[in-house]
Amino acid sequence: MPKISPEKIQLRKQEILDKAFEIFSTKGYSQTSMEDIVRYSGISKGGIYTHFKSKEEILLTIAEKRFLLRNDRVKQLTDIESPTEKIILYLRWALDGLQNESTQQEICFTIEFWSILSKDSSKSEIAKVRYNKFKKDLEGLLLEGVQKGEFRQDLDTNSTVYLILTSLDGIGFADAVMGIKLSDSVISEYINMIVNYLRR
């Protein structure tokens, strides 16, 4: 039996994750079975179980990869001198993306992901770890702004991170789930509101 290269293994795993992400986003995690993933991906059940022990492991792996993509976006801001400009780009990236179908899928997946974790008390630690990862990235940008004198010195970064992350999630929910579409003027007003608060 020919040996499969590590590159092909990674490609196969990513193929499973991509197809599972699509079906979780449209059908919902709870309503999706491993048989659905098998049928949708065209990969045998044995092939899927070779790489993932369960549907839950697939869900958590997708969530971690989604975080890493967002984390990479934050790292791309390091060459920009102004913390204000970094925050504006961070918010614009988060909001402009709502006009893309792939981002709509990501929001539906994220809502499904948090919903699953909230229903299982044994998973609460996963939720906290994930939130703290997002918090660390954004708080780093805010602290830099305070240190460079662009943001007010009395800024409560912990509370501000909470407000920004939860309001972005709320906007995403209204747009992707409720169908209340985000306009360019709302994006501009939101960004101005946040920047004015940081500089107040």
Quickly state the pLDDT bin for 163 (edges 50, 70, 90): very high
Task: Say what angle helices 101-118 and 124-147 make with each other, to 10 degrees.
Answer: 120
Instruction: Report which of 68, 63, 37 is spatially closest to residue 51, judged by C-alpha positions.
Output: 37
Given a contact cutoff of 8 angstroms between Cβ atoms, the answer to whether 142 and 160 are in contact is: yes
Given a contact cutoff of 8 angstroms between Cβ atoms, the answer to whether 154 and 63 are in contact is: no
- Is the confidence at residue 177, as pLDDT, over 90? no
Determine the pLDDT at residue 100: 64
**What is the rounded average pLDDT of the residues 94-108?**
70
End-to-end CA distance of the chain: 67
Global pTM value: 0.74
**What is the rounded average pLDDT of the residues 157-175?**
91
Q: State how far the Cα of 11 lies from the Cα of 15, in Å rounded to an integer.
A: 6
The domains of the chain, with CATH numbers, are 1-52 (1.10.10.60), 63-199 (1.10.357.10)
